[in-house]
Structure 1
Amino acid sequence: MRAKDIREKAGVDPITMLTAYDAPSASVVDEAGIDMVLVGDSVGNTRLGHDSTLPVTLEETLSRTAAVSRVVDDALVVADMPFLTFGVDEAQSIENCGRMLKEADADAVKLECGEHTVDLTRRLTQLGIPVQAHLGLTPQGENVTGLFRQGTDAEAARHIVDLAERHEEAGAFSLVLEHIPANLGRVITERLDIPTIGIGAGADCDGQVLVVDEVIGLSEGAAPFSKAFGDVRGEMERAVEEYKHAVESGEFPAEEHSHVEPELDDVY
């Protein structure tokens, strides 16, 4: 799967996208036939113990993206650029994004967008780095906007529509829309030729993306626009409790879990 393949699916086939942060989960996601795997900066909350995405570093993202890329055969691998690794200095931004393709074997990068990323998107695509734009709720801006639904009044909605059109013109191959009114998501999807990928943006987007931990039921809770399709956390708790009981009761390890070497009987 390449960026152009995703772009061509706009208005044709529903697009599926999930996050993955390691080789085992990425393998499962890819084998299920998911179109895109996002190595999200949400790894900060889901795997690294942070309260936000802001502390995630470039090196952590490079490492996680490389692990995912090693096992993904079909899906498009998108590296989510961490806070302040882009949009400050153009040359440094290009170098950081380029490293995701050169060193971590990503197929594209995702940028949390604003006025400052229009020209950067254009330059990256000119250099051969596919860009997925991200508008609406952008968690890296939580200290400015908060983690609330965006585009809820006419002025804010128009601004998001304008940025969406400008990023499409700049060369973005797709656009993530997060936590915006469903009717705004529909308008943007109708106006753009590139596919929109919704997360809390309604059913009219060309595709959907969720955090894999919430989908499989590994998180303790889920966002109001998400859904658990499994109960991995419950199964993990059951298995760990059974292991603890088996060790404490002497049931584990049993004879079949150990190896005896007869030649060692006379060592002592």
Structure 2
Amino acid sequence: MSSEETINPIALRDSLFTVLVRCVRILKAESVYLLYLSFLYLFPKSFYCIAYPTRRNFLNAEHPFPDKYQSDTLLPLAFTSLTFIFSHLGFIHYTLGLWSITYTLHRGRPVKLISALFNSVFVSFFPILGCVIVSIPNMVSLFNLVYSGQNLFKVIRGIEKSKMDMLDVIILLCSIQLHLELNLTPSIVVIESRGLVESMKKSSSLMKGNKMLGFMLLSIFGTCSLILGLFSAWILEMQLSLTGDLSRGGWWRMVTFQYLVQIVILSVLFMLVLLFNTVSNTVLYHYCIKAQRNDGEEQAE
């Protein structure tokens, strides 16, 4: 953070409290419809992230297929192809959820699909899709923090060795800065119907002086995502200890009803984190707009 963006700790605390309280009020007022949108659009990607270690372990299992399907190339290729397709479908679902939730919060009413389709979806959806695609490699995104939690569990348990070096640290710091610059881009795309590049520029302008507040929000939701990643890896290890070595057959014994319930519960929790994060971005957008307007009035006086 630059020196010109330093903020009084008390003011930062009050700003953070204001944003979070506003988010809670919005979630209470529109809880039913927002949950409906979340289960429809955010849950598939949430489940994909939480269940990622489980899917990887299936590759090491002995499957009850004919020998010709047990080759070292066909099964991984099929798995990789299905994973690729499902991952991108999940991001399309996530994009629709991001757009519909932000649209609902801005309009103050549920999305009317037909009118929204002709009025703004073609203007907003594709720029916001571009925004999501650009943010996929971002190491500080909530999805990648779930993966980081799953990998961190392996490091803690000694299953894998830590491979963090100076380049990883530099990439992480640059990613945090990039996230704080472009955090408001999706909200600007939907609310103001701007193009992707123009929205990115305005997001950078609005976040000046508010990066610490954005960092605090990122820390809250990022910590929750990291913890959920740790829990998902822990649940998988507990299940593997009960089912034994999957490479010797019996992979179906791993997918028990109890295990599926645990995975679904963690997926729902991560879905709620994504929902809260989306709402907070919209609230933060209005907060920054108001702060910028107040600064302009003070300079005019």
TM over 0.5: no
**Which structure shows the bigger proportion of residues in helix conformation?**
2
Which structure has the highest strand share of the two? 1
TM-score by length of 2: 0.27
